[in-house]
């Protein structure tokens, strides 16, 4: 399984990526939607873990672009903004229920990734 983590907080995605690798999961990271599109144009990933709020192009918009390239790609969303209730409403509007709140617990993330892949 290949995972792409995309978040504008470089230290966060580097740390999560390293923790996934220590658990035997192949993971790479990008700090912008543009960087993520470059990486996915060169190689395929099974799951993209996307931050909802990033400069220029956020996670929901990036998902649309990635799905055009890789229709079978699965998605998990991350957020550190707003209340949980408000975020749930937004995600339901987009038909998404695969999301986690920051700070991310690595076991919860792995469980969510496993769930979207099953």
Specify the pLDDT at position 85: 64
Where along the chain do its domains lie?
2-117
What is the per-residue DSSP string for 53-85?
Answer: --SSS-HHHHHHHHHHH-TT-EEEEEE-SS-HH
The pTM of this model reads: 0.89
Specify the pLDDT at position 91: 63
Q: CATH says 2-117 is which class?
A: alpha beta
pLDDT digits (tens, 9 = 90+) for 26-84: 999 999 999 999 999 989 999 999 998 888 898 889 999 999 999 999 999 998 866 56
């Amino acid at each position: 399984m290949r995972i792409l983590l995309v978040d504008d907080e470089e230290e966060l995605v580097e740390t999560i990526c390293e923790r996934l690798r220590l658990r035997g999961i192949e993971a790479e990271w990008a700090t912008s939607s543009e960087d993520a599109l470059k990486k996915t144009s060169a190689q395929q990933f099974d799951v993209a873990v996307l931050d909802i709020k990033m400069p220029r192009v956020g996670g929901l918009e990036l998902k649309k672009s990635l799905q055009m390239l890789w229709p079978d790609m699965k998605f998990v969303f991350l957020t550190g903004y707003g209340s949980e209730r408000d975020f749930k409403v937004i995600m339901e509007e987009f038909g998404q229920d695969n999301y986690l709140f920051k700070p991310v617990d690595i076991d919860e993330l792995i469980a969510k990734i496993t769930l979207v892949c099953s």
